[in-house]
Amino acid sequence: MSRGRPPTRTGPRSCQRPRRRDRPRPPDRGLGREDPHDAPPCHAGPRCREGDGHPLPRRRERGRTERGAPVNAKPEGWAWAGRLTAFAGLFIALGLVLGFAVAVIAGLPGAEATEVIDWRNVAPVLLAACAATWLLAVGIDRRPLSALGLRGGSPGLGELGSGVLAGLAIVGAAILALAVPGWVSWSASAASVLTGVKVSALLLAAAFTEELLFRGYPFRVLHLRFGPVPAVVATSVAFGLMHGANPGVTPLALVNLTLAGVLLGVAYWRSGSLWFVTGLHFGWNWVMAASGLPVSGLEVSISGLEAAVTGPMLWTGGAFGPEGALSITFVTAVGTVWLWRVAGSRSRAGSRLSTTAGSPGADGSLDARG
């Protein structure tokens, strides 16, 4: 018997795939979506050449990745907990090491927290969050950062800008509600453009850090294992509790910050873009700082405006800022509903996070795409 090429089959189960240059370019399916144009693997493996006519794999072998994990399988057992524990451990360890290094470089006795946002506090946690995300998502799970909604180029910049505008609109409405009855008034003072740019950059870095920690890799793991609602609830509660040590915090402030976490989680789930949520978070904080109001209890100065709060603490938030007031409670609730509709309608087809396609493999990875 000759050892030539296997006979070509012309039936529907034949591997009659067109040449790569003749295939239509599939659209960007976004996060967690399988490409419908991807053909199943051929029995011939690496020896298969397009158009050879090799038979397709048997039915029981379809829908499996190179790792052997079913495409729609969820993480087995407590694999999701192992991923989150590894992420938290890496972040804490790297944060301590980088914090000590920054303290030594800056000539400080220790990395002590202050009420003013400073690069000595922001840089270590930012680098630790970036490193932990890269090591787990790219190094261990072997997934691109775009799987977390971090697309590069002009699309990423556009999503970031859209998020900033949304954050300015939501919190700006709350501040306007305080200014109309005269509960907040402003006076001008000396301002430095360089200081404003520096503090704005630190606010952006802080917002990106918190989004990596709560709406990045951890949200993705929880979403793929339990679904979107448990992921939003879990990350929102953790986000609110993280601010429990801020100066001047109140029970209402913790509730509002948890609701803000829900708003950010819904925006991430519906838009599928971590850049959009980062811009939303940054715009939220920036408009309060630019108005001379405290940001989560921290005195942050960007512009030359000094705010004088005279209204009731229940509606103004007092020393903690608007995030400790009922005005933010109502605005956050309305903003969540608004973002549910806007972020979902503006997202491209298939860009929302999904658990029905591209689910994690048995090893708990982000999705099952190779």
Question: How do residues 73-128 score in pLDDT, each as one tens digit?
Answer: 455 567 888 889 999 999 999 999 988 888 777 765 544 544 456 788 888 999 99
Average pLDDT in the 319-338 region?
90
The reported pLDDT for the residue numbered 126 is 93
Token code pair at residue 169: 């609109």
Average pLDDT in the 337-353 region?
64
Asked whether the beta carbons of 347 and 276 are under 8 A apart, the reply is no
**Angstrom distance (rounded) from CA 322 to CA 276:** 23
Residue 333 has pLDDT above 90, yes or no: yes
User: What's the whole-number average pLDDT of the chain?
Assistant: 76
Shortest CA distance to 235 belongs to which of 370, 84, 356? 84
**Angstrom distance (rounded) from CA 75 to CA 359:** 9
Residue 330 has pLDDT above 60, yes or no: yes
The reported pLDDT for the residue numbered 352 is 47
Residues of the chain above pLDDT 70, percent: 69
- Residue the block writes with tokens 């408009």: 287
Average pLDDT in the 328-350 region?
78
Average pLDDT in the 47-56 region?
48
Instruction: For residue 23, name the pLDDT band (cuts at 50, 70, 90).
Output: low
Q: What number of other Cβ atoms are within 10 A of residue 338's Cβ?
A: 15
- How many residues comprise the chain? 370
> Residue 306: beta bridge partners?
187
CB neighbours of 368 closer than 8 A, spacing ≥ 6? 65, 67, 69, 70, 71, 72, 73, 358, 359, 360, 361
**Angstrom distance (rounded) from CA 42 to CA 17:** 11
Give the residue with greater pLDDT, 339 vs 35.
339
Average pLDDT in the 7-17 region?
51
